[in-house]
């Protein structure tokens, strides 16, 4: 009984903390990261990780704050690790659910069968492209992929490459927006890198399919 009471208090405290984080602006999140700098990269990893589980949290703000607090490259790395790990956890939970009730869900909601079929046929491309956009609800992508029959390695490759593109773009913009405006060739370079990652992912998919 005592354990259940303590668990309830912990759940309520965590809920309150999530609500608090949701209200913070960029400068406040940067200060929060610096306040807990003795924990090393953990705060910078945990915030993007939580966004994968709770999509109402502001991933864009977390990535830019990480960039300002840790520097562009470390901010990118910590954000990428956190967001990718969180997405993988959600995918694996959905995959476990699919192994038990996947067919029941498909029969119960026949309209989503087309979505599952599209993801299973196209594999890499839709996961990669959707993961590139910061305002796409990642939990929807990860749950849908987990409930589908897409191979885990295809999902993982597409997701981590797509997250890399999206988070690098946010870190790059957040680190020096004015430089991007003054030197538009950087935008062209970013698009070229996006194309190379997409091509590399397709080759990996073809190799392991």
148 vs 12, 55, 199, 201, CA distance in Å? 33, 21, 23, 19
**Predicted confidence pLDDT, tens digits, the chain (209 residues):** 434 433 443 444 656 666 666 666 777 777 777 787 778 889 899 999 998 988 888 888 888 888 888 888 999 999 999 999 999 999 999 998 876 666 676 677 666 677 777 787 877 888 988 888 777 788 888 988 888 888 999 999 999 999 998 898 888 777 765 566 566 676 677 667 767 766 766 665 565 45
3-class DSSP state for residue 71?
A: coil
Q: Can you tell me the distance from the alpha carbon of 198 to that of 158, in angstroms, rounded to the nearest whole number? A: 8
Is the residue at 190 inside a domain?
Answer: yes
State residue 80's pLDDT score. 96
State residue 74's pLDDT score. 92
Is the residue at 8 inside a domain?
Answer: no
Is the residue at 77 inside a domain?
Answer: yes
Structure tokens at 181: 């405006």
Structure tokens at 59: 């991933």
Is the residue at 9 inside a domain?
Answer: no
Q: Domain containing 30: what range?
A: 25-208
pTM listed for this prediction:
0.74
Domain count across the chain: 1
3-class DSSP state for residue 58?
A: coil
């Amino acid at each position: 009984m005592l354990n259940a009471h303590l668990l309830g208090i912990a759940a309520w405290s965590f809920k309150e903390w999530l609500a608090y984080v949701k209200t913070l602006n960029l400068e406040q999140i940067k200060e929060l990261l610096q306040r807990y700098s003795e924990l090393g990269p953990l705060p910078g990893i945990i915030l993007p990780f939580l966004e994968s589980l709770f999509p109402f949290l502001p991933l864009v703000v977390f990535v830019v704050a990480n960039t300002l607090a840790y520097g562009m490259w470390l901010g990118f790395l910590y954000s990428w690790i956190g967001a990718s790990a969180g997405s993988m956890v959600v995918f694996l939970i959905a995959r476990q659910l699919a192994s038990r009730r996947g067919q029941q869900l498909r029969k119960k909601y026949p309209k989503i069968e087309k979505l599952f079929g599209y993801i299973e046929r196209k594999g890499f491309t839709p996961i990669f492209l959707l993961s590139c956009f910061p305002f796409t609800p990642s939990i929807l992508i990860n749950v849908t992929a987990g409930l589908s029959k897409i191979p885990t390695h295809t999902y993982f490759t597409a997701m981590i490459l797509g997250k890399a593109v999206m988070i690098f773009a946010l870190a790059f913009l957040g680190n020096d927006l004015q430089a991007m405006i003054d030197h538009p060739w950087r935008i062209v370079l970013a698009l070229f890198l996006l194309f190379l990652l997409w091509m590399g992912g397709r080759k990996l998919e073809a190799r392991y399919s």
